[in-house]
Amino acid sequence: MDAGVVTEQQSIHNGGATAEDLEELYRARLDVFVRVAAAITGDRDSARDAVHDAFAASLRDLAAFRREAALESWVWTAVVNSARNQRRGRRRRLRHEDPAATPEATATAVPPLDPEIRAMVAALPERQRLMLFLRYFADLDYATIGAVTGVSTGTVSATLSAAHSALRTAMETGGHR
């Protein structure tokens, strides 16, 4: 069979997305995927593993992709879930090695920030942190964040508003202005 025919048939069976589309997304946005995954896992090496696992799973499951959402949204969902799984596994391993260890998905992977601001972001609830990372580090719009996290656009807006408010309050009480 001609390679062009296979690609066309694959494209028909997976809502139009091809392995080449995934590869193009990987090349274009790898740094952003890793940065957000690192913010979730708290570790850049785990983040890279999570992103690679997510892309491998996306490629393997490409036939399940339906164009109900953008390919990037579909992959973001896989990356976020993979990063969360990496974080959980890391926490379990660390607790097994040292029961007193309770690592937070802090900003060791977040672009350089003032250490106090980094601590304020790390203190936010997981959902607020995740939405902040997806909005400001991945530069995703509210609809895409909603698709990735499985919530409505209104919930994204409310969660980001709560995160902004919490950070503003923490900065005011911490003496930052």
**Residue 137 is which amino acid?**
F
Q: What is the pTM of this model?
A: 0.69
Could you report the average pLDDT of every consecutive run of 10 residues in the chain (177 residues)?
38 65 95 92 92 95 82 92 85 54 43 76 91 90 92 96 95 70
* pLDDT at 117 (0 to 100): 83
Cα angle for residues 40, 170, 173 (degrees, 5° grid): 160
Q: Cα–Cα distance between 148 and 73 in angstroms, integer?
A: 6
Question: What is the pLDDT, as a whole number, of residue 177?
Answer: 47
Per-residue pLDDT at 98: 52
pLDDT at 17: 84
The predicted structure's pLDDT at residue 153? 96
Residue recorded with tokens 């490409």: 62
Confidence (pLDDT) at 12 = 36
